Amino acid sequence: MHIVNTVDALRVLIHTWKAAGERIAFVPTMGNLHAGHCQLVKAAKEKADKVVVSIFVNPTQFGVGEDFDSYPRTEAQDQDKLRAIATDVVFQPTVLEMYSPHAKTVVSVTGLSELYCGASRVGHFDGVATVVCKLFNMVQPDIALFGLKDFQQLAVIRTMVKDLNMPVEIIGIETVRETNGLAMSSRNGYLTPEQRQTAHVLYQVLCQAREAILAGNGDYANVEQQALLALQQAGFQPDYFRVCRSNDLASAQLDDTELVLLTAAKLGKTRLIDNLSFTR
């Protein structure tokens, strides 16, 4: 497994592979890898000849007062996990390698980036779109894989790729969950043992809302309010719970059939997000 820290070193490898006609898959991460990340890499290996994984805690997607400084950095353990599943390259740049001190360009997917998590984390999705755009230019992948847990993030990236005519196929991979249903996330490590006993309720409330809709409840505002109440009663501080169209994340209407439930809530100091897609 190659470990490279500069764009120049990465491009030497990419050029060699492309010259040989090899298909390249890319999995961008912020490290602190768990089973969900490993599932992305395994899926990438099935779809391409070479797999590049980036590990970069991106400062531009963290807001003031968020956890950039405390975000878990576990590079050695991450490399061991990636080596065990035969990753071809780990790209692990510094902030200075990724961002010129005088950089002036920001990629912004307007509208979509201001909804839901974007309303609570102003500028977050601009940081995501900018760093992913830069990484795509550096890696030049044929395909890139993202977890469906970050559903809005994936929608932002899909829109960016379409709007900018990027030659990258975006593939979403199903959320990997713990046995109680809690979506795996690097931030789960912030939860106390007591909070971990409660955290799975977020997924339970999503499932209950889905069942209510499938049973014929077309009052989506009521479904949302009941879900928010259930989260509050369980000890969460909910940010939002929305019934959306899965293709553009607009508020769902009664004639929409492809739906996604989106939610974010704090449990203690930990902000958790999750979603559930289904056909009505």
Given 2, 15, 37, 200, the catalytic residue: 37
Is residue 257 a contact partner of residue 279, using CB atoms and an 8 Å limit? yes
C-alpha–C-alpha distance, residues 227 and 219, integer Å: 13
Q: In what order do the strands lie in the sheet with 258-267?
A: 237-245, 258-267, 270-279
CB 50 within 8 A of CB 36: no
| Alpha helices for the chain (secondary structure H) | 7-19, 35-47, 75-84, 95-98, 117-120, 124-139, 151-163, 193-199, 201-214, 220-233
Q: Which residue(s) pair with 55 in the sheet?
A: 29
Backbone torsions φ then ψ of 202, nearest 5 degrees: -55, -45
37: annotated active-site residue = yes
Instruction: Report the catalytic residues.
Output: 37
